[in-house]
Chains A and B, each alone.
Chain A
Amino acid sequence: MPDTRTPPPLPPSFAVWFASRGWQPHRHQLEVLAAHEDTLLIAPTGGGKTLAGFLPSLVDLAEGYVGLHTLYVSPLKALSKDIARNLRAPVDEIGLDLRIEDRTGDTSSSQRRRQRVDPPQILLTTPESLALMLSYPEAPKIFAGVRRVVLDEIHALAESKRGDQLMLGVARLRSLSPGLTVTGLSATVEAPQALAGFMGGARVIEADPGPPPDIAMLPTERPAPWAGGGGRHAARDVMAAIEDARLSLVFLNTRAQAELFFQALWEVNDKALPIGLHHGSLSREARHKVEEAMATGALRAVVCTGSLDLGLDWGDVDLVLQVGAPKNVKRLVQRIGRANHRYDEPSRARIVAANRFEVVECAAALEAVREGDLDGGGRRWRGPLDVLCQHILLTACAGLFEADTLYEEVRHAGPYTSLPRADFDDCLEFCATGGYALRAYDRWQRLLERDGKWQLRDPRAARDLRMNIGTITETEKLKVRRKSRRGGTPLGEVEEGFAASLTPGDTFLIGGQVVRYEGLREMIVEVTDAATREPKIAVFSGLKMATSLELSQRVQRLIASPEDWDQLPPDTRDWLALQCEISTLPAPGTLTCESFLRGGRAFFCLYGFAGRNAHQTLALLLTHRMEQAGLGPLGFVATDYALLIWSVDPVEDPAPLLSAEGLRDGLRDWLESNAVMKRAFRSVATIAGLIQRNLPGQRKSGKQATFSSDILYDTLRRYDPDHLLLRITREEANRGLVDFDRIEEMLAQASEIVHIRAPHVTPLAAPLLLEHGQVGIRGGTGEARLMEEEAQAMMREAGLA
Chain B
Amino acid sequence: MREITFSGVRLIAQPSGALYWPEQGALIVADLHLGKSARMARRGGALLPPFETLDTVARLEAEVARIGPRRLISLGDTFDDDRAAGEIAPEISARLSALAARIETVWIAGNHDPVGLGRAVEDMRLGPLTLRHIAGAGPDVSGHYHPKAKIARRSHRAFLVGGDHLILPAFGTYTGGLDCDGPELRALVGPGIAVLTGPGMPVRPIGQSAARQSR
* A→B interface (CB under 8 Å): 433-434, 436, 438, 440-441, 444, 446, 457-458, 460-461, 464, 500-501, 503, 689-692, 703-708, 711-712, 715-716, 718-720, 723, 776, 778-781, 783-788, 790-791, 794-795, 797-798, 800
Contact = CB atoms under 8 A, between A and B. Distances in A.
A783 B204 contact: no
Nearest to B146: A704
B47 A433 contact: yes
Nearest to A781: B199
Interface string B149-174: 00111100000000000000000011
B193 A800 contact: yes
14 contacts: A433-B47, A434-B49, A440-B38, A446-B44, A501-B153, A689-B46, A715-B49, A715-B51, A715-B52, A719-B49, A783-B154, A790-B151, A794-B151, A797-B212
Contacts of B212: 794, 797
B205 A795 contact: yes
B61 to A, nearest CB: 15
Contact of B204 (A501, A776, A784, A794): A794
A461 B46 CA distance: 10
A783 B54 CA distance: 29
B215 interface: yes
A720 B49 contact: yes
The 10 A-B residue pairs with the shortest CB-CB distance in the complex, in nearest-first order: A434-B47, A784-B200, A444-B41, A798-B205, A791-B202, A719-B51, A704-B176, A784-B199, A790-B152, A440-B50
Residue in A433, A460, A689, A707 with the greatest tally of chain B CB atoms within 10 Å: A707
B129 interface: no
B191 to A, nearest CB: 8
A715 B54 CA distance: 10
Nearest to A497: B153
B3 interface: no
Given A704-B176, A706-B176, A707-B176, A438 B50 contact: yes
A336 to B, nearest CB: 42
Contacts, number: 123
Interface string B203-215: 1110010001011
B12 to A, nearest CB: 18
A630 to B, nearest CB: 14
A441 B50 contact: yes
B103 interface: no
Contact of A461 (B44, B89, B200, B204): B44
B62 interface: no
Interface residues of B, number: 40
A545 B148 CA distance: 35
Contact of B178 (A440, A501, A704, A780): A704
A711 B174 contact: yes
A716 B49 CA distance: 7
Contact of B51 (A460, A718, A788): A718
A787 B200 contact: yes
Nearest to A794: B204
Contacts of A690: 46-48
Given A704-B146, A800-B205, A787 B50 contact: no
Nearest to B205: A798
A721 to B, nearest CB: 11
Nearest to A795: B205
A708 B155 CA distance: 12
A788 B42 CA distance: 42
Given A708-B176, A720-B51, A783-B199, 18 more contacts: A438-B51, A461-B44, A464-B45, A689-B46, A690-B46, A690-B47, A707-B48, A711-B174, A712-B174, A779-B198, A780-B199, A784-B200, A787-B151, A787-B152, A794-B215, A795-B193, A795-B205, A797-B205
A33 B52 CA distance: 59
A723 B49 CA distance: 10
> Counting chain A CB atoms within 10 Å of each CB, which of B49, B89, B154 scores highest?
B49
A784 B176 CA distance: 22
**A708, A716, A776, A790: residue with the most chain B Cβ atoms closer than 10 Å:** A790
A712 B202 CA distance: 25
Given A441-B47, A446-B47, A689-B46, A707 B174 contact: yes
Contacts of B200: 784-785, 787-788
Given A715-B55, A779-B198, A784-B199, A791 B151 contact: yes
Contacts of A503: 214
Contacts of A689: 46
Contacts of A440: 38, 50, 89
B46 A691 contact: yes
Contact of B205 (A464, A691, A692, A794): A794
Contact of B199 (A446, A500, A779, A800): A779
A200 to B, nearest CB: 31
B177 interface: yes
Contacts of B199: 779-781, 783-784, 787
Nearest to A460: B44
A458 B41 CA distance: 11
Contacts of A719: 49, 51, 54-55
A436 B49 contact: yes
